[in-house]
Amino acid sequence: MAETRASAYDSKIEGNVIFTRLDAAFNWVRKNSLWPMPMGLACCAIELMATAASRFDIARFGAEVMRFSPRQCDVMIVAGTVTYKMALAVKRIYEQMPEPKYVIAMGACASTGGMYRSYAVLQGIDQLLPVDVYISGCPPRPEALLAGLMKLQEKISREKSFAAQKPQWTKKFTGASA
Phi first, then psi: what are they for 38, rounded to 5°? -75, 95
Instruction: Report which DSSP code applies to 138.
Output: S
Number of residues that bind other proteins (CB under 8 A): 13
Instruction: Give the nearer residue to other proteins in terms of CB position, either 43 or 87.
Output: 87
Instruction: Give the nearer residue to other proteins in terms of CB position, either 32 or 127.
Output: 127
Residue 72 CB, shortest distance to other proteins, in Å, is 25
Phi first, then psi: what are they for 149, rounded to 5°? -65, -40
Cα-based angle 44, 150, 60 (whole degrees, multiple of 5): 85
Maximum alpha-carbon separation in the chain: 84
**Interaction of residue 119 with other proteins, rule CB under 8 A:** yes
**C-alpha dihedral sign at 79, 80, 83, 86:** negative
For the segment 69-108, give every residue that binds other proteins (CB under 8 A): 84-85, 87-88
Q: Which of 118, 136, 168, 174 binds other proteins (CB under 8 A)?
A: 118
β-strands 75-79, 36-40 pairing: parallel
Q: Which of 45, 121, 133, 156 binds other proteins (CB under 8 A)?
A: 121
- x/- string (CB under 8 A) for other proteins, residues 122-141? -x---x--------------
Q: Which of 6, 13, 18, 120 binds other proteins (CB under 8 A)?
A: 120
Residue 10 CB, shortest distance to other proteins, in Å, is 59
Q: What is the spatial distance between Cα 107 and Cα 44, in angstroms, rounded to a whole number?
A: 7
Instruction: Give the chain's length.
Output: 178
Among the listed residues 5, 90, 1, 88, the one whose alpha carbon sits nearest the alpha carbon of residue 41? 90
Q: Which of 12, 117, 158, 162 binds other proteins (CB under 8 A)?
A: 117
**Which residues of this chain interact with other proteins, rule CB under 8 A?**
84-85, 87-88, 113, 116-121, 123, 127
